[in-house]
Each structure stands twice: as structure tokens, then as C-alpha cells.
Amino acid sequence: MFTHLLVPLDGSRLAETALPAAAALAERLHARVTLLHVIEDNAPPEIHGERHLTDTTEAERYLTEMAAEWFPGGANVSAHVHAEGAASVAAAIVSHAVELEADLIILCTHGRGGLRHRLFGSIAQSVVAHGRIPVLLVPPGDRRRPPFACDRILLPLDTRTEHEESIPFGLALAEAWKASVHVLAVVPTLGTLSGERAATGTLLPGTTAALLELEEEHAEEYLRGRVAEIRGAGVPVTAEVGRGAPAEVIVETAKRVRADVIVLATHGKSGLGAFWAGSVAPKVSHHARVPLLLVAIAPTREPA
């Protein structure tokens, strides 16, 4: 499923945190890799407290060094420097991903606070909204961390069929690593409802609680169908329905089942506002300690 991996690097050790995952995926999936550096307009002299690459020759030399270090032997890896100067790194990455026909972008979520918001809110959101290309977000850490593992995959779903677009990607990883899949559906509790549902819950708590119980039963029935589908593909699978705030339940479940990666469907351009307002993916990315694979839902489908 993934045949061409695009890995944006800015020269910092934080960005290099994405390289172990890229190297492991390239080897296991026999995928080619493009290392990308974007020269920014009015680039700062430092980024993440380290010297920033602003010279094309220097950037090319750096990418060549990273390619030799992380993709030795017969790996199919190339380096590309966007030298014209970009007003938006996010837009440059999106356009290069499309131009180079990459089918997975791998990048680090770059720490906390403003830097995290800049990378996740700008780059990942732009890719999901416009590129229709999956994004693997790797949490920051030591670039010498243990090799990327994928023995246990957490696959959060809800009962809308549009979110099932993440299933083939989860199965592809499971088949490549001979991994198991844990499917999760999350139903809110009365205290974790938001928006109009929260207002309704305040006015009609008994009725709302009963409706949530019915929603849980429906989710259990839905998961039985997805479990049968995944098991039919020859992949070991378990499932559960969690109760609470979606992002919190996803993160807690990932810890409990010792998931190595979370595969999460997100709305494309048409549903982006509603999705980001819910803050599910940013919260999962902020708190999860494992990589998060975002799979864009087709933008022609409006969320219910």
C-alpha cells in the first residue's frame, strides 16, 4: 500500500526522530524514500535551538549524509531540496508530495507548545485537507530509539462507514509485520458530551443516558461486523467499546493494550472544520507516546 515515503527534514535532531520509522517501513514494505528539505523565505538562523539549514549546498550534503546513515545498502532513497524559497513549508511539502507521487508522509510532531502547533496544525492539517495523502506522525524522542515496531495496531472506528477508510491501511501494516489489530469504538458518557448533545444531556439527562446506552449496543454490533471482516483477512483481531471522551479513551487504550501505532481516520477538506473543532487528532498526537497514522477521509463525503 505504501510504495513511496516522503520524509521532510529541517536539519534538527527532532526532525530526525522520524527516520527510524521511515527506515523500518522502507525495508519492510520495499518502498522507496525521498528525503526533503524546504528552504524557507526569511528562514530563521536557528530552529528547535539548532542551526537551521538555509543554504542549498549545505542542505543537499545534509540529506545525502542522512540517506547514507539511515538507508544503507540497496535501499532506494533520494534527496530533494526545494531551493526556490517557500513562504509556507506546509504548502511546499504538500505540493512536493503530490508532484513526487508519495503515498505516505512521515514527520516528527516537534515537541510541545507553539512548535507542535505549527507543525501539526499547519503541515498535517494541510496534507489531510488538500493532499489526500496519509501522514505518519512520530512523537519526539531520541533519534536512536529502538527500531520502529508494529506488533500491535490500535484502530479506532465509529459506526460511520466513512471512517472505515483507515481499515485497509491498518490491515496493510498488520500483514507486513504479522501484527494483531485491536479495534476500538468510543461512546461518550453523559459527562463527556459536547456541543448540542451536552446541552440536551443537561436538560434531559435520563433520556440522553438511555440513548447513549443504545448507542453502545449499536457500536458493539457494528464492531462484530468489523472483527469478522478483519479476521477474514487472516489478521488476529480483538475489539472493545470504550466510554468517555474519544481522545482520552484512544490514548488510554493505546497504553493498556501496548499498541505500537494508532491508525486514525480524519475528515478531508469538506469535513475539516468539524473534525479539528473536535480536537481528536491533535489531542491524541499530544498525549500518545506511539506513532499516529492519519488517513484522510474522502472530501466528497460529508460527515453525518
pLDDT digits (tens, 9 = 90+) for 198-240: 778 788 888 888 888 998 999 999 999 999 999 999 999 999 9
Per-domain boundaries in the chain: 4-138, 152-296
Q: What is the pLDDT of residues 87-129, one digit of tens each?
A: 677 778 888 888 999 999 998 876 544 444 444 445 666 666 6
Quickly name the fold that domain 152-296 has.
Rossmann fold (3.40.50)
Closest CA to 106 of 93, 88, 92, 87: 93
Chain CA centroid to CA 118, Å: 16
Closest CA to 33 of 66, 82, 62, 60: 66
Give strand ranges (E) for 109-211: 135-138, 152-157, 180-187
* CATH class (in words) of the domain with range 4-138: alpha beta
Chain CA centroid to CA 62, Å: 26
| Residue 74 DSSP label | T
C-alpha cell, 44: 530563521
Q: For residues 68, 133, 121 and 191, what is the CA-based torsion angle, rounded to 10 degrees?
A: -120
Location of C-alpha cell 496493510: 172
Q: What is the pTM assigned to this prediction?
A: 0.87
**45 — pLDDT class (breaks 50, 70, 90):** low
Asked if the domains 4-138 and 152-296 are classified in one and the same CATH topology, the answer is yes
